[in-house]
Amino acid sequence: MNSDLLHGLSPWHGTTILSIRRGNEVVIAGDGQVTMGQAIILKSNANKVRRLADGNVIVGFAGSTADAMTLYERLEGKIEQYPSQLKRACVELAKDWRTDKYLRRLEALMAVVDKETSLILTGTGDVLEPEDSIIGIGSGGAYALSAARALYAKCPDMPLKEMAEQSMNVAADICAFTSHKFVIESL
């Protein structure tokens, strides 16, 4: 796996996804920027954060829209197949994603959370659980991740939604591919 992808320096421009967990409380924030190439902003309010499994799982996606829809559907199918086993469902999706001739071509990263677990899924078969339960993916992911880690350490009582919003604003101020329009979901 290219380590740049995990640090938010992905080739997919126009997406910043951030997840922060404290105990059983978790938020995922995603910006809405969609760009074409290096200079054209097509849309600033796309929704790249979705709830699955009757609202018990939240997914944030960095990649193309068609890839996102395909992977959301596949993940939802795996969650239905393995209810209350998010890790197992994600591992099964990662196996398919890596080995299926069609899925293998999808270039994306996913942040997937429920009440207990925070995971990063990649097209190379990785299912990663960050040590600090903070995830930043996409073109502005490294900026949002850095801001979230700093706020988490310095302001441990700050509400997670506020922490996510402040961290996403830092990313949007720095990354040309991140907008200031966010969707924030929490469990």
The set of catalytic residues is: 15
Phi, then psi, of 46 in degrees rounded to 5: -70, 150
Sheet-wide strand order for 108-113 = 49-52, 57-63, 108-113, 118-122, 127-128
Phi, then psi, of 118 in degrees rounded to 5: -125, 125
Asked if 138 and 15 count as a contact pair (C-beta separation under 8 A), the reply is yes
Q: Give the dihedral of Cα atoms 103, 168, 86, 109; nearest 10 deg.
A: 20
Type and span of the H or E element at 167: helix 160-174
How far is Cα 55 from Cα 178, in angstroms, rounded to an integer?
Answer: 26
How far is Cα 60 from Cα 29, in angstroms, rounded to an integer?
Answer: 8
